[in-house]
Structures are given as structure tokens and as C-alpha cells.
Structure 1
Amino acid sequence: MGDTPTPAAPQALFAFRPVVLFTAVFFPWPSWPAASSRRSSTWASAAPPAEPVSIPYKDTSLPGYLVSPPDATRPLPTLIVNNGSDDPVSSAWTPLGAPAVARGFRALSFDGPGQQSMLFAHGVPFRPDWENVVTPVVDVLLPRPDVDPRRIVLAGISQAGYWVPRALAFEHRIAAAVADPE
């Protein structure tokens, strides 16, 4: 993604207040909806702001957030940020999303099946064939005029570090990938 962050990097790295975003993991079940609501409002008020994205998936949709560099208007490379099994949509922001945005990428984070809101609010469990999760994410990105369709990157950490290679075996519209199973 490059070695030199843009001048906006420090602002982008710390604007998301990770302490607030990570709270949903530690709240007991009755508090999860409130924590989820706070996390969503934090994404929306961040700098740069995150655009909520709804990803059609089976008979429901996966929630996501697309973050772009400030004042970006042209098609840019886009990183699909895939978090691990039990983490909120924000967990991979600091190691993957923020550095990508600081280097001129758009970054899309989302909750997949079995992750946070999809599990707790919708009862949608994990699935081993992660290409069936990544393909709808790519489908949402491709028609966007602000995404360069030839430069879509998939990155996964923790459990997603195992899912990414499987998704790549079937989803051929991804230009590059990073798989870090830690």
C-alpha cells in the first residue's frame, strides 16, 4: 500500500476512538444493542466520516462502512477489510483500514455471517465457504463510480486470515490480497 502516509494519516488513525468502537465485544448480551448503536454513531461522526453501506446477502444484508480519504472524488483502489471471527466490524480498522485510507485507498469494513451484528441481532451463523460472503461485497463495490474496479484488495486478519485464501480461490475480481491468520 506504500511506505509514506499522507499528511492526513495521524488524523485518520486516531479519529475513530478505538476504545468506543471495541466496547461491543465486552458488553454482556443485554447491552449489545446499545453498544452497537454507539459504534454506528462513532463511525458516522469520525474524520473522515464513514459511509454506511448495505451489502445484499441472502434474505438480509450485511452492514458495512466505507471510508474514503478526505476530498477523494476519483475512482480509487479499495481495500475490503475483513475482521476475525468474534470481533466487531471495527477491529481491523487500526491495522488495516486506517493505514489504507492514509495511503489513498478507500476501505470497506463489514460484519459477515457469524460476526457481531449478523450473529447477535440477526442470528446469522458463520459459514465455511467465505467466497459466498466476499462475492456480494465485491458486487456492491464494482458499480460504484468512486471505486477502481481493477484495484480491489481483500485483507483479513485473525480468523479472516484463513477465509481470505478460500475466497480468492473462487472470487477472481480481486486484484490482490493479504491473509494474516496471526
Structure 2
Amino acid sequence: MSAGIRLLSSVLVAVGLLLLAIACNDEYDLSSSDTSVNAPNQNKDQVPQWLESHHEISAADWLIIRSPAALKGDVTDKQHRVAILQDASEHFRENPRMIANRATQLEDMLLEIDIEESAVSLIDQFTHLPTRGTPHNFSAYCQYYFNLRAQGYDEHYALAELSKLK
């Protein structure tokens, strides 16, 4: 892949993540949702592309019905999704809706380059990355991770490199 294409790809990722950040600045309380989704059984046309503050579905439920991996049967239970989103929200000091949107966007982008990783798995893995003493947030880690994976590095190498960022 040429440097120009990589730069363009990075710019497009940054713009997309910026747009998501603008759309996701509202606070959300995970405990306030009583929506329950055990499997992705909704019509894909009824599922919003991005989760916004006016949607009545919880971030944990939306994550599982919006995620391409979930649509293929990679389903985690609701308690697990809520716990992962809560951990990520506390770790990155961002609301769960924003994290769910970014992780699903990253999952989509990885699928475009034939890499299958679920949004739930990505959130779980990123929660182990450093945030203290570093300016990096969940959005930045998504961009860096995509760039490394697009360059052909495997997930273990990409995560190891991200854990070294200062």
C-alpha cells in the first residue's frame, strides 16, 4: 500500500471518528436500560447505523444487534456486554454509547480489509491499554489499531505496539 493511500486512509478514519465524537457527546447511564437482546433477531434495516442519544436501545443491546460479528452468530450475553462497556467507560472516561459506536465502526472498517474482529472483543482488548500518563483515548486507539492492522500486522503485534504508546 502506498504512503499516499495510507495517509488518505488515516485521514478518512480520523474524520469518521471526529464525526462520531460530535454525535456522541451525551452522558448515558448503563443501569437505566431495561431493553434486553439475547440474539441479533431484529431486521438490520431497523437497527440505527450509529447509536444516538435519542435512541431508546441500550449501548450493550445495540452493540450486539449492530455488530457484523453478532449478525454471524458471535453473540455474548448481555451481562458480559454491559460489564465490558462499563469497564471501558470507566477506563477511558467516555460514555458507553460513544465506545460502542467507535468499536462497531472499527469492526466495519476491519471487515472492509478482510479482517474479522468483533466490536465486543475490541472493546475488551482496548480496556487493557494504558490511559494514565498518555493523551490517547478510545478513539485514538481505534485509529492506531486500524492503521497497524491495515499494514498487515496481526492483532497481538498491534495491541503490543499500542500498549507502548506514551
TM-score (norm 2): 0.35
Structure number with the higher strand fraction is 1
The TM-score with structure 1 as length reference comes to 0.33
